């Protein structure tokens, strides 16, 4: 059950990367440039999640 839940969350993240952060429409030459692009998109996805969580936490305190 836990492994299935983790798989679901990974698939959700992959979907967000593809749809919202244009990982699906990558237009760079070379694997290293593509890898860098995907890593930067993953960092943006994590930063967004952290910002949302911090915003929600500050609203609960206030």
pTM, two decimals, is 0.69
How far apart, in whole angstroms, are the C-alpha atoms of residue 18 and residue 12? 10
Helix (H, G, I), strand (E, B) or coil at 9: helix
Q: Domain spans of the chain? A: 1-61
Tens-place pLDDT, residues 9-59: 889 888 888 888 877 777 888 999 988 988 998 899 999 989 999 988 888
Instruction: Give yes or no for a contact between 45 and 17, defined as CB atoms under 8 angstroms apart.
Output: yes
42 versus 1: which is more confidently predicted?
42
SS3 content of the chain, % helix, strand, coil (to 5): 80, 0, 20
pLDDT of residue 62: 60
């Amino acid at each position: 059950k836990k492994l299935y839940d983790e798989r679901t969350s990974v698939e959700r993240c992959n979907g967000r990367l593809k749809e919202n952060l244009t990982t699906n429409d990558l237009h760079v030459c070379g694997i290293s440039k593509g890898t860098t692009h995907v890593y930067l998109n993953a960092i943006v996805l994590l930063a967004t999640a952290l910002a949302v969580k911090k915003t929600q936490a500050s609203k609960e305190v206030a």
